[in-house]
Amino acid sequence: MRWTWPLRPFLSAGEKLFDRALCVTGAVLFSQLPEFFQQYLQRLGGHLDEARRQLEQFRQAAAHSGLTLDQLVADVRARNDPALAGLGSVIVDTSRRVDTLAAAESALRGAHLWSRPFVFLRHFDPAIAHATWAVFRPAVPTTFEGLAYAALGMAVMLALYHGAVRGPVGRAWRRRSAVQEGV
C-alpha cells in the first residue's frame, strides 16, 4: 500500500528497537536459570541433611534396642497398635526420601551446563521448587554458565519473535497488499 511508504522508516526503527528489547529480556530471564538452580540446590541440600538427620535418629533408636533399622520397621509394623504401624511407614518413607534427595542432588551437581535443565526436570520436586521460588533473589550472572544461558535466552526470544510473530504477520501483510493491488 502506497500510503504506508512514509511510515516504513519509523516502523523499521520500532521493529529494531523491539527486536533488541526482546534480546535483553531473553538474556536477563535465561541468565537467572543458573542462579535459580544454585538456590534450589541449597534448599535441596537442606532437605537432604534434615532427612538424613531423622533417619540417623531412627537408626540410633533401633541400635539402642539391639535392632537394625529394617528389624525395627518389621517389629513396629507387626504390632497391633496403629500408631506404631504408622511409625514403621514414616521410617520407610524417610529412608526413601533420603535416597530420592541424594540422587537428585548428585545428578544436579554432576550435570553439564546444557543438560542441567533436563536433569532438573527429571528430579523436579514441586515443594522444593515452590519454596525456592518464594524466596528467589535474582543475581547478576558473572560465570560462563550465566553468559551461556543469556546467549541462549537471546536466541530463543529472537527465534520466537521471528518465527511466531514477524514471519506470519509479514506474510499476512504481503498477501493483503497483493490482493488490494490486484483489485
| pLDDT greater than 90 at residue 21 | no
Proportion of the chain above pLDDT 90, given as a percent = 50
What's the pLDDT score for residue 182? Answer: 64
Proportion of the chain above pLDDT 70, given as a percent = 85
Residue 66 region by backbone torsions, left for phi larger than 0, else alpha for psi between -120 and 50, else beta: left
What's the pLDDT score for residue 86? Answer: 86
Q: Between 144-160 and 33-64, two packed helices, what is the crossing angle to 10 degrees?
A: 120
Q: How many CA atoms, within 13 angstroms, populate the side-chain half-sphere of residue 84?
A: 10
Tens of pLDDT, residues 95-150:
999 999 999 999 999 999 899 999 999 999 999 999 999 999 998 888 898 889 89
- Distance CA(104)–CA(110), nearest Å, equals 10
* Cell digits of residue 23: 534480546
Mean pLDDT value of segment 152-171:
81
pTM of the full predicted structure? 0.73
Mean pLDDT value of segment 65-87:
88
| pLDDT greater than 80 at residue 71 | yes
